[in-house]
Amino acid sequence: MLKRYLLSGVLIALAATAHAQGNGPGLWGARAAGLGHIGSVLEQDGWAGAANAAALGALSRPTVGVGAENRYLLPVLNTVSLMVAMPIGYRAPQPAAAVTGVSAAVAAVEAPRYGVIGFTAQRFGGKLYSEQRLGLGYGYQLGTVRVGARVEVLQTSFEGLGSRRVVAASLGGQADIIPRKLTFGATLYNLNQARLYEYQDERLPTVLRAGLAWRASEKVLLLAETEKDVEQDADFKAGLEYRPVPVLAVRAGLASLTSQLTGGVGLKIGALQVDYAAVWHETLGLSQQLSVAYVWAKPALP
């Protein structure tokens, strides 16, 4: 029995070492993983809405995705994920009024009339220790600004010790400082400071992320983000996405606090978006992630 508890402790330590935040924000989608785990400023991606609910507001098509991750080639450190994003109604097809100084086309006239709802589910771990997450988010776009909120239920389970459930609330926002060029994003995870265990008043991490995305050209996207847990040092992240052709993306990134180098590729096959990422930790080794999303070709009827 003692060996089981010790092994569970090792597994938790490995997960915390890899992602700095322990039971903090989950990791969603191979695109973000390949870009240094940047989560606040990505958009036009169903998985991005799980990291920052504001990104949901930019989605104009229903999207369903599944993902799988393995950390350090250990079977007990597997993660499986599910994502669903559903726009609510659409604006009339005639051109909408332009935002001051911005054309109606740039101001996303096709954005859903009543916003977008997103649902996520995720499971990490094995028999001895596991984490399960269920999340519900909402994002809305108004002109060049997107706002969102998200509620997540996290359950941690130890074999022989039972399980514990908590609810974490998050807020997020994104703004196009220069439309189609420069975007700012920020998100606050666990603003309610949910208590995970009464022992030593252990709480989920409260994490603030803020980032910038600069589209240097139609083919090049540069990203930078700072992530700060109130009880840890700041983590600086950087990412680069290059699209030599519209259907192919090549990605690279880094995260300073966790000493990780990341890379990946994305391939668009009709309505399918397939993304793969590899993450190298200087001490623990290789992690890999694969995610697939299906995007409906036409918007639903109002």
Sequence-ordered strand ranges (E) for the chain: 63-71, 78-87, 116-125, 129-142, 145-158, 162-178, 182-189, 195-197, 202-203, 207-215, 220-229, 235-245, 248-255, 260-269, 272-281, 285-295
Q: List the one residue out of 68, 45, 40 whose CA is nearest residue 189.
A: 40
Chain mean position to CA 5:
31
User: Residue 24 has what pLDDT?
Assistant: 73
300 within some domain: no
- Asked if 54 and 137 count as a contact pair (C-beta separation under 8 A), the reply is no
Q: Is residue 194 part of a domain?
A: yes
Q: How far apart are CA 82 and CA 32, in angstroms?
A: 15
Q: Report the CATH number that the domain containing residue 110 is assigned in CATH.
A: 2.40.160.40
280 domain-assigned: yes
Residue 234 forms part of a structural domain = yes
Q: What is the pLDDT along the chain (302 residues), one digit of tens a residue?
A: 434 444 444 444 455 444 444 567 878 999 999 999 998 999 888 999 999 999 999 998 999 999 999 999 998 999 999 999 999 976 554 444 444 444 444 444 466 778 999 999 999 998 889 999 999 999 999 889 999 999 999 999 988 878 889 999 999 999 999 988 999 999 999 999 888 877 677 888 999 999 999 999 999 999 999 999 988 889 999 999 999 999 999 999 999 998 899 999 999 999 999 999 999 998 999 999 999 999 987 644 44
- What pLDDT sits at residue 22? 53
Contact between residue 25 and residue 194 where contact means Cβ atoms under 8 Å apart:
no
Sign of torsion over alpha carbons 190, 192, 196, 198: positive
302 domain residue, yes or no: no
Residue 301: inside a domain, yes or no? no
pLDDT computed for residue 230 by the predictor? 83
**According to the model, what pLDDT value does residue 224 have?**
98
Question: How many domains, in total, are found in the chain?
Answer: 1
Sign of the alpha-carbon dihedral angle for 22, 25, 28, 34: negative
Q: Report pLDDT for 301.
A: 46
pLDDT of residue 101: 43
pLDDT at 23: 67
Q: Report if residue 228 sits inside a domain.
A: yes
pTM, two decimal places:
0.85
Residue 49 lies in domain: 2-295
